[in-house]
Amino acid sequence: MEAFLASRVLTRGDDWADTIGRAVSLQAAADDVVRAVVQQARQNGATWQVVGDALGVSRQAAFQRYGKPIDPRTGEPMNTTPLPGVAELAASVIEDLASGQWSRVTERFDPTMRDGLPEDALAAAWAQIVGLAGAFEGYGEPEATRAGDMTITKTPLSLEAGDYTARIAFRDDRTIAGLHILDGRTS
């Protein structure tokens, strides 16, 4: 089977861009077939566990990739698309934290966050983290997922003597609804 598929894209020429493009098209077509089969399996009663086992992933991973979550409040399909530009937004919040720009962070808070975490408390919390793990050294690539009405980012942080994860929840208006600095590189 693999040889047949490879023969559809491999050539003797030197136009590797075209060959790679054909391989990507074939991959997209295969993904469409898998999606259709998963939908058919679900319509015929297959559980997410069965689907996940067949794909070699957890049932949750299978659902997240192929499921269509329904909002229990409205009965309508949920928006699962993260907020556009949210990775850059999360990075800018982390840069402001690391450079002591507390007011720039708190200005982005929604009203509930602003009431619950004033500027001086944010500064104290960051100072406590630095006191435990040393100076901020950098951050990794933010991961973004949609959760209900918010987009949640998880960004690995490196400090001199420890690793953390910044978990930031953004509303669709780009305000911050939650900000957590978690010990280690966990969720």
Host domain of residue 58: 2-66
* Span 171-183, average pLDDT: 95
The per-residue pLDDT for 141 is 94
Per residue in 120-151, pLDDT (tens digit) is 999 999 999 999 999 999 999 999 998 878 99
184 close to 163: Cβ distance less than 8 angstroms: yes
Judge if 95 and 61 occupy the same domain.
no
Mean pLDDT over each residue of the chain, to the nearest integer: 88
> Which pTM does this prediction carry?
0.66
Which of the two residues, 72 and 151, has the higher pLDDT score? 151
Judge if 92 and 178 occupy the same domain.
yes
Q: Using the predicted structure, report yes or no on whether residue 100 has a pLDDT greater than 80.
A: yes
Burial group, residue 57, by CB count within 10 angstroms (0-12, 13-18, 19+)? middle
Per residue in 23-55, pLDDT (tens digit) is 788 888 888 888 889 889 998 999 999 999 999
Judge if 90 and 177 occupy the same domain.
yes
Judge if 53 and 111 occupy the same domain.
no
106 close to 96: Cβ distance less than 8 angstroms: no
CATH number at 161 reads 3.10.450.590
Per residue in 11-23, pLDDT (tens digit) is 666 777 877 887 7
The per-residue pLDDT for 26 is 80
Q: What distance in Å separates the CA atoms of residue 123 and residue 105, rounded to the nearest whole number?
A: 10
Judge if 150 and 110 occupy the same domain.
yes
Q: What distance in Å separates the CA atoms of residue 169 and residue 43, rounded to the nearest whole number?
A: 34
Does any domain span residue 56?
A: yes
